[in-house]
Amino acid sequence: MAALEDSSFGRLFGALFSPGKTFRSIAERPTWGVALVVLLLASGAVGFVAGQRTDYREMITRSLKDSGREVPAEKLDRQIEITQKVGPYLAAGSGVFVLLVLLLITLFYWIIFKLLGSDFTYLSGLSVTLHAAMPAVVSLLLSLPVILSHKTLGYEDVKAGTFLRSNLAFLAPPDAKAWVVALLASVDFFSLWSLVLTVIGYRALSRLSTQAVAITVVVVTLLFIAVRVGLATLR
């Protein structure tokens, strides 16, 4: 029987359960198409299902209240009407945003590891990044039954960015600032799992020391967390 790391589909599971062998195989023969499609499909499916159940009136009014803004009733109703129509489709397209973030993260790693003396192609790095993101697919799939158990999803259900209590956002008080929720949501089981896989993957690909790779991955991760918290603060 073929090993998990020998095929593109097998690598999806191998990255989760046999990361050492799988990422060494990826370093020798990078593949990224299947991992990309699975990530986009999972993100799109969960986004669309969640979008169909979202109470957009509550989402918009609560968001405006938290930001201290006031919108005329007529304009607000029009905004809610439009959002109710296009919301599910916009949510289904969230996978594209996730992909753009992963492409940017891969670029950071590629540049930094090049400066540290490693020599691998950008697509090889993308293969590692995508396979290291497989815990996110697990998180998305586990979210589906949680979403389907709700008739509607309100502001409190979606503000943490995940439907699972896999991060610390559920500890935030109801009146917590958006940046506090974003910061707590960054301490997530599946994100930490991905971080460990990223270190293993780029260690195999770059052939640099574990310490150098781990420091790089942690710094880049903290940078993106800072951006996420900063954007939440602006909102």
Average pLDDT over residues 180-198: 93
Whether the CB-CB separation of 134 and 15 falls below 8 Å is answered with: yes
AA letter at 148: L
Whether the CB-CB separation of 53 and 151 falls below 8 Å is answered with: yes
Query: How many Cα atoms within 13 Å fall on the side-chain side of residue 132?
Result: 31
* Report for 66-75, 111-120, 140-149, 155-164: range of highest mean pLDDT: 111-120
Helix axes 33-53, 73-92, angle to 10 degrees: 150
| pLDDT of amino acid 141 | 93
pTM comes to 0.88
pLDDT band at 179 (very low <50, low <70, confident <90, very high): confident
Q: Which residue has the tokens 């029987």?
A: 1
**What is the per-residue pLDDT across 226-235, written as a single tens digit (0 to 9) for each?**
998 898 777 6
| pLDDT of amino acid 32 | 93
Average pLDDT over residues 114-123: 95
At residue 1, does pLDDT exceed 50?
no
| pLDDT of amino acid 195 | 97
**What is the per-residue pLDDT across 28-82, written as a single tens digit (0 to 9) for each?**
999 999 999 999 999 999 988 888 888 888 777 877 776 667 777 777 788 888 8
Cα angle value 13/134/10 (rounded, 5°): 25
- β-partners of residue 226 are none
